Amino acid sequence: MDDATPTSIDLRAEYAESGVREVLDELDRELIGLAPVKQRIRETAALLLVDRARARLGLSRETPTLHMSFTGNPGTGKTTVAQKMAGLLHRLGYVRKGHLVSVTRDDLVGQYIGHTAPKTKEVLKKAMGGVLFIDEAYYLYKPDNERDYGQEAIEILLQVMENNRDDLVVIMAGYADRMDRFFSANPGFRSRIAHHIDFPDYTDGELGRIAGSMLDAQGYRLDDEAGAAMAEYIALRREQPHFANARSIRNALDRARLRQANRLFSRDRPVTAAELCTMTQADIRASRVFSGGLDPDGSRRKDDPHEL
């Protein structure tokens, strides 16, 4: 240790100066709930701050493996947290740019011989210096299809994840059970991923707060009766197929806005600013969720299976 090497470091001061606090505060402001996820992100930030302190004190260290797996149902904030993680890693100096490149199987795997390698390498080139987020990563592996080229993309990814881990962080995301099967079939991925974070479903109360936050951001509000209808909607909707947490709530509010617009447009009089900003229970209860996904005539809609 030379004379220029400090003998101690104030970790709280490092935390304040690093900008990590701003990223974590943004995470708390922008995402409702997800307490265990936020705790894991804070723990990861602490690990990286300690690692950086060890380097500054001249202690032996090895760059930690930062590749991650995010598991959970759709609409639980995985992409948003990946964006915040990219910013956190950039502020701490673990990636050069701090950008996020989000892809699916179609962005990596080609449809004919010789197509997959250039596609995968182009995506990796764009992601270098930042975070590569692979949604529904298990679709890369299709063992039942002999003509599938996903294995080629997997081999390239594994090589880059090992050889370029100081310039790229890969986050793989998807349903927990499918990701487990994927890792079992591809042990190379499991050995390279140190951080496995599970995203819980939102509670009814959290989904209600999410709905309120989304409406507030758009300049809308629910009156008291509409608020009660929305709470009932949430409880019913989560029991129906294709429920996607916050994503389903966003789609429901988009439909409610459509109904409100048509309700107001049908009036033969001027509308007030308050009316333009307020949704009533009629805008919520017109949803087919309240009739079990049936149209008024009792028939089941087939053209829109994902949202009711």
- Domain containing residue 76: CATH number: 3.40.50.300
Do 39 and 176 lie in one domain? The reply is: yes
Same domain, 173 and 282: no
Of 157, 133, 154, 134, the residue nearest 142 (C-alpha): 154
CA distance 72 to 52: 31
Instruction: Confirm whether 81 is domain-assigned.
Output: yes
- Residue-wise pLDDT for 110-120, tens only, equals 888 889 999 99
Average pLDDT over residues 227-232: 97
Last residue of a domain, one of 182, 199, 216: 199
- Find the helix packing angle between 20-30 and 78-91, rounded to 10°: 170
Whole-angstrom Cα distance, residue 167 to residue 95?
6
* 308 located within any domain: no
Query: Within this chain, do residues 157 and 209 fall inside the same structural domain, yes or no?
Result: no
Phi, psi angle pair for 294, to nearest 5°: -105, 145
Same domain (yes/no): 190, 267:
no
Give me 94's structure tokens: 């673990």
pTM for the model stands at 0.86
pLDDT level of residue 229 (50, 70, 90 thresholds): very high
Q: What is the CATH number of the domain that holds 233?
A: 1.10.8.60
Whether 50 and 188 map to the same domain: the answer is yes
Q: Give the list of residues 6+ apart from residue 82 with CB closer than 8 angstroms, or none.
A: 70, 100, 102, 131, 133, 171, 173
Q: Are residues 219 and 72 in the same domain?
A: no
Contact between 76 and 203 (Cβ < 8 Å):
no
Helix (H) or strand (E) holding 133: strand 131-135
Q: Are 45 and 92 in contact (CB under 8 A)?
A: yes
Distance of alpha carbon 24 from alpha carbon 45, whole angstroms: 9
Residue 26, both tokens: 């943004």
Gap between the Cα atoms of 125 and 123, Å rounded: 5
Pair (70, 88) in one structural domain: yes
Is a pLDDT exceeding 50 seen at residue 303? Answer: no
Average pLDDT of the chain, as a whole number: 89
Tell me how far apart the alpha carbons of residues 242 and 42 are, in angstroms, rounded to a whole number.
31
Asked if the structure places residue 305 within a domain, the reply is no
pLDDT tens-digit map of 113-166: 889 999 999 999 999 999 999 999 999 988 777 678 888 999 999 999 999 988
User: Do 212 and 186 have their domain in common?
Assistant: no
**Phi and psi (nearest 5°) for 278?**
-110, 130
Question: Are residue 114 and residue 97 in the same domain, yes or no?
Answer: yes
Give residue-wise pLDDT tens across range 197-215: 999 999 999 999 999 999 9
Domain shared by 134 and 228, yes or no: no
Task: Please tell me whether residues 141 and 235 are part of one structural domain.
Answer: no
Range of the domain at 209: 204-291
Residue found by looking up tokens 């599938």 in the block: 148
Does 77 reside within a domain? yes
Is there a single domain that holds both residue 156 and residue 60? yes
| Crossing angle between the packed helical segments 224-237 and 204-217, to the nearest 10 degrees | 130
Confirm whether 297 is domain-assigned: no
